[in-house]
Amino acid sequence: MPILTEYLVKILINEAFRYRKAIVISFAVILATFTVVGTLWPKGYTVYTTIVVDERNIIQPLMQGTAVTTEVTDRARLARDIIYGRKIMNQILADAGWLESNPSPQEQEEIIKRISAKTTIANVGRNLIKVEYQDTDPERAFKTTTRIAELFIAESLAGKSAESLAAFGFIDKQVTEYHEKLTKAEEALKEFRSANLDAQPGSDADIATRLNNLQTRIEEATRDLRETEIKKMSLEKQLSGEAETASAVSRENQYRTRIAELQSQLETLRLSYHDTYPDVVRLRHQIEDLKQAIQVDQQQREQARASGRTVIDDTVINNPMYQQLRRELSATKVQIDTLSARITQARQQLQSELERGKRMQGGAAKLAELTRDYQVNREIYQDLLRRRENARVSMNLDKENQGLTFKIQEPATRPLQPTGPRFWHFVLAGCLLGIILPIGMLYGKLNIDGRIRVPSIIADRHKLPVLASVPHLWSPAETATVRREVQWLSVLAGVTVLVVSLVGVLRLLKGW
Amino acid sequence: MSKIEKALKRAATERHLALVPASASKQSPVSEERALMPAAGASTALELQARARSSAAIALMRESTPKKTNELAERRIIFPEMGENPTVKAFREVRTKILQATQGRNCVLMVTSVTGDSGTTFVALNLSSAFAFDEGKTALLFDCNLRNPRLHLLFKEHAVSGLTDYLENPTMDVGDIIHPVGIERLRVIPAGGRREIPAEYFTSVRMKGLLDSVRARYPERFIILDSPPMTESADTQILADLCDYVILVVPYGTVTQAQIDDCVKGLDRKKLLGIVFNNEPQVPKFGRRR
C-alpha cells in the first residue's frame, strides 16, 4: 500500500517506535561491525608515477614521411600487457624485496596476482600513463612502483628496438630476393630480344598498316587495270570501224567547182563578148584543162584499183583519227602491262607481310609477358629499396632512443599518508547505514504491506465515515515497561557509540 | 449491601423518590422496568416524565466501590481526569458523532470488528465510559462475545451471572445480570457461563425483549454491545439485526481493504455509523504519570 506522503513521517516515527528494539539493535550491530571492519581494514599506501610517452620529438618533423615511428593508440593497454608479463613481474619480485621470505613458486604466483590486482595502469592524458600501486607497506609500495615504471620503460624501448630491427631485416631479405628476380627477368628479356630482332613493341601495328596499304594498292591497281582494259576494248572497236586512209575526193570536186566558177565567168563574158574574145577563149581553155585533169584522176584511180596496189597519189591522205586511236591503243596496252605487273608484285608483298605478321603474334605475347615480369619486379624492387632505407632510419632512430621516448614525468614518492577508506570513514558509514538501513527496510515494508495504516484511506475507498482514530492508550504498567525498554535501548546505543568513540580515540593516540 | 442501596432505602422511606425507580439497585428493577416500559415513547409528556425520572435515577447511581484512577489506567479505561489525552478526545468525538446520529436519543449500539484482537472490547468499554462521563447519561455494556468474553475480567469474582444465564433461565430477572463495575453511571452485563452455540441465544425472543426493555427503560441509557468480530462469528449478523447502529473497529496495520469490503458487505449500510480506527501507535509520554 503506497503511503501518502503527508502521513509518511508520522507513520515512520510510529512504526520505528514499534520496532524500536530491532532498529536500535541493528544500529548497534551495524555500527559495531563497521567499527571492527574499520579497525581490521589494512592501511593502504598508494604510490603512483606518471610516464610521459613523447612521440613529438625533434626528429619526427625532420623524418616526416620517411621513418615510421611506432604508433601507440591505447598506451595503457599496451603498458598493462608489458607490465603484467612474467618477465617484468619476476624482476619486480626480486627487486622490491618480495623474495626475502623465500616464497615457493606457488606463493610467488599468488604474490604476482596480488601485485597485478593492486596495480592500476590508466591513460590520464593523450600521452600520459599513470601507474598506481597500493600496498600495506609504504616502502615496498614505493620500491615496487619505481621498479614497475623503470622496467616498463626499458622493456618498451627494447621491444621497439627489436621490432624495428626485425622489420629492417625482413625488408632487407626481401630486397635481395627481388633483386635476384629482377636480374633473371632482365636476362630473359635480353635473350628473347636477341632471338627475335623484329620483335619490337609496336611492330604488329606497323605490319597492320603495311598490310592495309598493300591491300589498298592492290585494289586500286585492279580497278585501274579493269578500267584500262575497258578502254582498250573500246579503242579496238573504234579502230575497226575507221578507214586507214581517206580518199582525196575533194580535188576532183575542187576541179569541178573551179570549172563551175569558170563557166559562170564564161557565161558572163559571152553576154558581152564573142566567142573569140580572148578572155572567152582563155576561159574555154581553162575549162578544158580542168576537165582533162578530172579524167586523168579518174583513170589513175581505176588503174590502181585494178592493180591492187596502193597508189599514193595526191588524192590519198592518211586518216588522222585512225592515227590518233592507234596511238592511244598502244599506250593503253602498255598501261595494262604495267598495272598487271604492279598487282602481282603487291600480292607477293602482301603474302610476305602476312607471314611476317603471323610470326610476330607469338613473339609479341612472349615479349609482353617478359616485359611485364620485368616491370613488376622492377617496381617492387624500387619500392623495397625505398622501404629498406626508411626501415634503416627507423632502426637507427630506435637505436638512439629517438623515436617513441618514455620519460618518467612524475617519479614515485614515498607515501606518508595511507590512502583508501580510513577508520572514521567506516565509523561514519556505520552510523549512516545503521540509521538508513533499518528505516529503509521499514519504509519498504510499509510500502509492500497492504494493510491499512491511514484511516483516511477507508474514508476515501469505502465511502465510510471514520468516527475517530483512537491512539493506543498506554497503561501505566505498559508505559513503565516501555520506559525501561527505551532506557535500555538508549544505554545500548550510547554504549555502542561510546565504545566506537573510545576505539577511535585510542587509534588516534596510538597512531594505529 | 451497597451505599447506594442504603441511600435508596432511606430515600424511599423519606418519599423523595416517589417517581424514581431504583434501577441501579439489584432489588426491584424488574417490576419497575416492566411497568414503565410502555411509557417510554407514549407521549411527550410521558417521555419528559421518563427523562426526569431517569435523570433522578442516574443521580442516585452511586458506585459503592468506585475504581481508583490508577486501576482504571491500568485496565486501559478512560476517565474524566485524563483531560486532554488523545484517546479520551477520540472517544469523546465518537460519542458526539453517535449523539448527532441519534439526535440525542438512546440507542442500541453494536461494536464489532473486522478480525479478532482488534480491540473491540477496549473500544466498547471506553465508548461506554465516554457516555458515562456525562452526568446526565448512563451506559449499559453487553458482553455479547460469548466465545471469547472479556468483560467479566472487570469483576473481582469472574463467575458473575451474565447474559447466557439470563437467556437460559426464564425466571431470572434483568436486575440480576446488570452489574456495576466501579465506574460511575456504567453498568455491565457480562457474558455469563460460556456456551458453545451463542447464535441460538441471540435469536431468542428473550434476547430481543431484553434489549427492548433496557432501551425503553431509561431514555438516557445507551446500550452498547461488545460483539465478536465479523469474520469469526455468525452472532454478529444476528446482533446487527437487533441493534440500531453498528460501529466497525478497524485496527491499525492489521486488516486489508478487501477485508473491510467483505465486512461492510455483510452489514446494513444504514445502520453502519462508521469506523473507529483503533490502536494507532503513539509514543508514550514518559514525563507525565497518569
* Residue A427: CB atoms within 10 Å: 20
Domain-embedded: residue A80: no
Q: Which one, of A314, A77, A361, A342, lies nearest residue A216 by Cα?
A: A342
Question: Helix (H, G, I), strand (E, B), or coil: what is residue A226?
Answer: helix
pLDDT of residue B231: 83
Mean pLDDT of B266-287: 86
- Is pLDDT above 60 for B40? no
Smallest Cβ–Cβ distance between B279 and the set A470, A476, A477 belongs to A470
Residue B135 and residue B102 in contact, taking contact as beta carbons nearer than 8 Å: no
Handedness of CA A321, A327, A333, A339 (dihedral sign): negative
Alpha helix positions (H), chain B: 3-13, 29-36, 44-60, 69-74, 86-102, 120-133, 163-168, 174-177, 198-202, 205-217, 235-242, 257-265
Last residue of a domain, one of A303, A334, A368: A368
* Residue B287: CB atoms within 10 Å: 6
Mean pLDDT score across all residues of chain B:
80
Lowest-pLDDT choice from A21-25, A497-501, B200-204: B200-204
Contact A470 B91 (CB under 8 A): yes
- The reply to whether A320 touches chain B by the CB within 8 Å rule is no
Alpha helix positions (H), A400-454: 423-448
Please tell me the distance in Å from A498's CA to the nearest CA on chain B: 25
Strand partners, B251: B278
Cell numbers standing for residue B160: 458473575
Question: Helix (H, G, I), strand (E, B), or coil: what is residue B1?
Answer: coil
Chain B residues in contact with A468 by the CB 8 A cut-off are: 90-91, 93-94, 97, 276-277
Mean pLDDT of A250-278: 85
Contact B252 A452 (CB under 8 A): yes
pLDDT of residue B38: 43
User: Using 50, 70 and 90 to split pLDDT, how confident is the model at A32?
Assistant: very high
Q: Where are the domains of chain B?
A: 67-278
pLDDT of residue A83: 84
Please tell me the distance in Å from B122's CA to the nearest CA on chain A: 10
Domain-embedded: residue A433: yes
Contact B260 A466 (CB under 8 A): no
Contact B277 A486 (CB under 8 A): no
Domain-embedded: residue A65: no
* Residue A504: CB atoms within 10 Å: 17
Contact B76 A13 (CB under 8 A): no
Chain B residues in contact with A453 by the CB 8 A cut-off are: 252-253
Please tell me the distance in Å from B123's CA to the nearest CA on chain A: 9
Most confident of A73-87, A156-170, B56-70: A156-170
Strand partners, A18: none
Q: Which residue has the higher pLDDT, B21 or B196?
A: B196
pLDDT of residue B18: 36
Instruction: Name the E strands within A312-425.
Output: 316-318, 405-410
Lowest-pLDDT choice from A235-249, A339-353, B182-196, B205-219: A235-249
Judged on CB neighbours under 10 Å (0-12, 13-18, 19+), A406 is buried
- What is the per-residue pLDDT across A98-122, written as a single tens digit (0 to 9) for each? 787 888 888 888 888 888 888 888 8
Domain-embedded: residue A121: no
Which residue in B77, B118, B283, B289 has the most chain A C-beta atoms within 10 A of its own C-beta, making it the best mutation to test that interface? B283
How far apart, in whole angstroms, are the C-alpha atoms of residue A361 and residue A367? Answer: 10
Cell numbers standing for residue A117: 590486482
Please tell me the distance in Å from B232's CA to the nearest CA on chain A: 19
pLDDT of residue A56: 54
Query: What's A275's domain CATH number?
Result: 1.10.287
Residue A427 and residue B238 in contact, taking contact as beta carbons nearer than 8 Å: no
- What is the per-residue pLDDT across A198-226, written as a single tens digit (0 to 9) for each? 666 667 788 888 889 999 999 999 999 99
Cell numbers standing for residue A339: 598495272
Which residue in A14, A467, A490 has the most chain B C-beta atoms within 10 A of its own C-beta, making it the best mutation to test that interface? A467
pLDDT of residue B20: 38
Superfamily (CATH) of domain B67-278: P-loop containing nucleotide triphosphate hydrolases (3.40.50.300)
- The reply to whether A451 touches chain B by the CB within 8 Å rule is yes
Contact A451 B256 (CB under 8 A): yes
Question: Helix (H, G, I), strand (E, B), or coil: what is residue B85?
Answer: coil
Contact A473 B278 (CB under 8 A): no
Residue type for position B141: L
The whole model's pTM is what? 0.56
Contact B277 A451 (CB under 8 A): no
Main-chain phi, psi angles of B3, to 5 degrees = -65, -40
Residue in chain B nearest A463 by alpha carbon: B274
Interface contacts (A, B; CB < 8 Å) = 126
Contact A17 B253 (CB under 8 A): no
User: Using 50, 70 and 90 to split pLDDT, how confident is the model at B39?
Assistant: very low
Mean pLDDT of B48-56: 74
Mean pLDDT of B30-45: 46
- Within this chain, do residues A359 and A210 fall inside the same structural domain, yes or no? yes
pLDDT of residue A105: 86
List, edge to edge, every strand of the sheet that includes B108-113: A466-471, B272-280, B245-251, B108-113, B221-226, B138-143, B186-189, B179-180
- What is the per-residue pLDDT across A40-92, written as a single tens digit (0 to 9) for each? 887 788 888 888 877 655 445 555 555 555 554 567 787 888 888 888 888 88
**What ipTM is given for this predicted complex?**
0.77
Chain B residues in contact with A469 by the CB 8 A cut-off are: 90, 276-277, 280
- Within this chain, do residues A354 and A446 fall inside the same structural domain, yes or no? no
Chain B residues in contact with A9 by the CB 8 A cut-off are: none
Smallest Cβ–Cβ distance between B255 and the set A451, A467, A476 belongs to A451
- For chain A, how many residues are written? 512
Residue A188 and residue A373 in contact, taking contact as beta carbons nearer than 8 Å: yes
Please tell me the distance in Å from A125's CA to the nearest CA on chain B: 59
Which residue in A447, A470, A488 has the most chain B C-beta atoms within 10 A of its own C-beta, making it the best mutation to test that interface? A470
Contact A476 B278 (CB under 8 A): no
How far apart, in whole angstroms, are the C-alpha atoms of residue B183 and residue B193? Answer: 23
- Within this chain, do residues A226 and A307 fall inside the same structural domain, yes or no? yes
Residue in chain B nearest A18 by alpha carbon: B281
Residue A16 and residue A442 in contact, taking contact as beta carbons nearer than 8 Å: yes
How far apart, in whole angstroms, are the C-alpha atoms of residue A394 and residue A386? Answer: 12
Residues 469-488 of A with CB under 8 A from B: 469-479, 482-483, 486
Which residue in B121, B275, B276, B288 has the most chain A C-beta atoms within 10 A of its own C-beta, making it the best mutation to test that interface? B275
Residue in chain A nearest B252 by alpha carbon: A453
DSSP element (H, E) containing A123: strand A119-123
Chain B residues in contact with A458 by the CB 8 A cut-off are: 250, 257, 260, 275, 277
How far apart, in whole angstroms, are the C-alpha atoms of residue A376 and residue A382? Answer: 10
Last residue of a domain, one of A368, A384, A410: A368
- Is pLDDT above 60 for B229? yes
Domain-embedded: residue A237: yes
- Is pLDDT above 80 for A364? no
Please tell me the distance in Å from B53's CA to the nearest CA on chain A: 31
Lowest-pLDDT choice from A25-29, A32-36, B235-239: B235-239
Contact B255 A457 (CB under 8 A): no
Which residue in B129, B278, B280 has the most chain A C-beta atoms within 10 A of its own C-beta, making it the best mutation to test that interface? B280
Domain-embedded: residue A253: yes
Mean pLDDT of B22-31: 39
- Is pLDDT above 70 for B11? no
Contact A468 B94 (CB under 8 A): yes
- Within this chain, do residues A324 and A257 fall inside the same structural domain, yes or no? yes
The domain of A485 spans: 1-41+423-512
Residues 15-74 of A with CB under 8 A from B: 15, 17-18
Alpha helix positions (H), B14-138: 29-36, 44-60, 69-74, 86-102, 120-133
Smallest Cβ–Cβ distance between B257 and the set A452, A465, A472 belongs to A452
- What is the per-residue pLDDT across B122-167, written as a single tens digit (0 to 9) for each? 999 999 999 999 888 899 999 998 888 888 888 888 778 888 888 8
pLDDT of residue A201: 63
Parallel, antiparallel or unpaired: strands B179-180 and B221-226: unpaired
- Within this chain, do residues A355 and A265 fall inside the same structural domain, yes or no? yes
- The reply to whether A12 touches chain B by the CB within 8 Å rule is no
- Within this chain, do residues A363 and A219 fall inside the same structural domain, yes or no? yes
Domain-embedded: residue A309: yes
Q: Count the domains in chain A.
A: 2
- Within this chain, do residues A296 and A229 fall inside the same structural domain, yes or no? yes
- Within this chain, do residues A428 and A363 fall inside the same structural domain, yes or no? no
Share of chain B above pLDDT 70, in %: 81
Please tell me the distance in Å from B22's CA to the nearest CA on chain A: 35
Residue A453 and residue A1 in contact, taking contact as beta carbons nearer than 8 Å: yes
- Within this chain, do residues A338 and A448 fall inside the same structural domain, yes or no? no
| Half-sphere exposure of residue B159: CA atoms within 13 angstroms, side-chain side | 0
Contact A483 B86 (CB under 8 A): no
Please tell me the distance in Å from B75's CA to the nearest CA on chain A: 7
- Within this chain, do residues A332 and A444 fall inside the same structural domain, yes or no? no
Q: Which one, of B204, B235, B239, lies nearest residue B224 by Cα?
A: B239
Domain-embedded: residue A91: no
Q: Which residue has the higher pLDDT, B86 or A254?
A: B86
Cell numbers standing for residue A21: 528494539
Chain A residues in contact with B70 by the CB 8 A cut-off are: 476
Most confident of A294-303, A484-493, B67-76, B214-223: A484-493
Residue B229 and residue B112 in contact, taking contact as beta carbons nearer than 8 Å: yes
Share of chain A above pLDDT 90, in %: 18
Residue type for position B143: D
Residue A393 and residue A63 in contact, taking contact as beta carbons nearer than 8 Å: yes
Residue A121 and residue A76 in contact, taking contact as beta carbons nearer than 8 Å: yes
Chain B residues in contact with A461 by the CB 8 A cut-off are: 257
Mean pLDDT score across all residues of chain A:
83
- Within this chain, do residues A344 and A239 fall inside the same structural domain, yes or no? yes
